[in-house]
Structure 1
Amino acid sequence: MIRFSTIADLRKHLSTDRASQKIALVPTMGALHEGHVALIQKARQENDSVVSSIFVNPVQFNNPDDLARYPRTLEDDCQKLEAAGCDIVFAPAVEEIYPESPIMKLSFGDLETVMEGAFRPGHFNGVGIVVAKLFNLVQPDRAYFGQKDLQQVAVIRRLIRDLSFPIELVVCPTVREADGLALSSRNRNLTAEEREQAPAIYAALTMAHELLLEGQSPAQARASVTGYFSSRPGFRLEYVETVNAETLQPVVEVLAPGQTAICIAAYLGQTRLIDNLVF
């Protein structure tokens, strides 16, 4: 595995591979877990060369404390990537990606006015800018993202369409612990007691899913989930929504299979966790 920290060196190396090889990109912010490993392994199976980026993107954080608390484990991450079959790691400094603060703004319309966009203003502008930069630098044939960040997936899908990137978006299933907790880099910030409580998020999603299958309305399922968390100290529910899985707009009834998603965001102590289930 080869490691680069500058754009010039990365571009120079990839210029010799691009004509004859299928290149995959797996963007990450580091603090890697088995969910990231699954993305790398999937990319390894389907492409000739796998590039992974490790970059904690400051532009997508609207909370400076959240940025400061985000775990950084570069050497351990590189070991995981190499073991999973990654060929190239791009781990630049902030100054390499942003020699000066970007002034361009990306708008994703209704996709960024709900859920994460409503609670994290400017977040998806930052995501769009850094992913567009990575797409431009690597010029991959395929890009791999996890379903856990469902709204991010929808934003990247729109970015690819609107800017005509010749890239196939590959969305991989959420990887979970045995107790249902979705793997996340932020899980490292949970205390031992909070880690025991954290599977309640998946339990709430499962409960909402069952209620909807029984014929209850999204509003009724939402009320049940809100009540579920109100009796669990340590949790602060930000939102629970039943939405169109592609447009992310709220729905008043369940749509066709694969078109409806239940999404949750909640704080457990100081750690913000998100998860979703797609019907």
Structure 2
Amino acid sequence: MSSESVTPNSPQPMTATPLSSALSKVPEVTTLFWIIKVLTTGMGEAASDFLAHRLGPLPAVALSGLGLLLALVLQFRARQYAAPVYWTAVVMVSVFGTLAADAAHVGFGVPYAASTVLFLVALGAIFLLWQRREGTLSIHSIFTRRRELFYWAAVLCTFALGTAAGDLSAVTLGLGWLASGLLFAVLIAVPGVLARFGLNAVLAFWWAYVLTRPLGASFADYAGLPHSRGGLGFGTGPVTLALTGLIVLLVASLALGRRRAGVQAVNR
């Protein structure tokens, strides 16, 4: 799925050029991008449940918040996209965003329906301000500090929104984890289909991006939670380790492939 965008001052879609790709702080949107993204959402869900039960909600939020801060510092200091740095930041966003959304419900009693609407409004506000300031929401254009700030604010909000929406579906609506996962698997395919019939590519991208969160989290919960809660009972710890291992392998392959491409370009 592409992330092209039509800017207000140009009738042509903004596509990635060699220069913008070299300067961009985010990866190209490929099939592997979506696979890793879904895995990070599942890993974040399992890891957040594991940490919350072992450390308690508040210490888990504080610890993941510190990890997120350090990961984002490394990401913002990087001069260009680096797969290990970028995906570490995404993983920490996933863990922290999940814990923050869960804390709103468990700690403050905010219903999942209310938190879903709250995070949806917050994401809409970020997108509105981003569009007004920069003229585009295309991730191909993330090569300035301000756009990078908008991007990561949106990413964090999508994780919190997806967490609330997934719990709304599985718990409040009573669908359970497996049925919710299947539901979001269908919904995430919708923007890809509609994009072929003229749906704005940026809208299609962010629509799918939001839905990766409840998709991955629902299946992670189904695998990790005990039978009494509708899961398979593998445990949140083992699920976290398994998904982390897959993410590390795929990100390492991305970094190696990018390095080989750079060497080949130099040798030409």
TM-score range, shorter chain: under 0.3
Question: Which structure carries more strand by proportion?
Answer: 1
| TM-score scaled by length of structure 2 | 0.25
Question: Which structure carries more helix by proportion?
Answer: 2
| TM-score scaled by length of structure 1 | 0.25
Which of structures 1 and 2 has the larger relative contact order (alpha carbons within 8 angstroms, sep 6+)? 2
